[in-house]
Amino acid sequence: MANDITFFRRFQDDIISGRKTITLRDASESHFFAGQFLRTGCYEDDSYFCTIKVISVTAVRLSELNEQHARQENMTLSQLKDVIREIYPGEESLWEIAFSVVKVA
């Protein structure tokens, strides 16, 4: 069965443990909606590691990211902005997908 959303493997433990409770994505992944259950896999090999429930999907600009976003991503604000710029170079419009883990592989 295919995964609905993927994360870099380096985020897997933070997601499973509940230390990472949001993800920031570009418009190509803005179609998710509250209440949706998503099979979650590793970006590198698409291996399934958990199922998450989407709590909310909210538009946010890179310039609006704050310490709360960073805490929800389990990193500093500086680290968060660096990661976003690395993954989505030049992108200012993002989508915050808040989620909770409902099942671990």
Active site residue 20: yes
Please give the full DSSP string across the chain, using - where no structure is assigned. ---SEEE-GGGHHHHHHTS--EEEE-GGGTT--TT-EEEEEETTT--EEEEEEEEEEEEEEGGG--HHHHHHTTS-HHHHHHHHHHHSTT--EEEEEEEEEEEE-
Active site residue 40: no
User: Which listed residue (21, 23, 40, 96) is catalytic?
Assistant: 23
Active site residue 73: yes
User: Which listed residue (20, 21, 40, 96) is catalytic?
Assistant: 20
User: Which listed residue (6, 40, 73, 96) is catalytic?
Assistant: 73
Catalytic center residues: 20, 23, 73
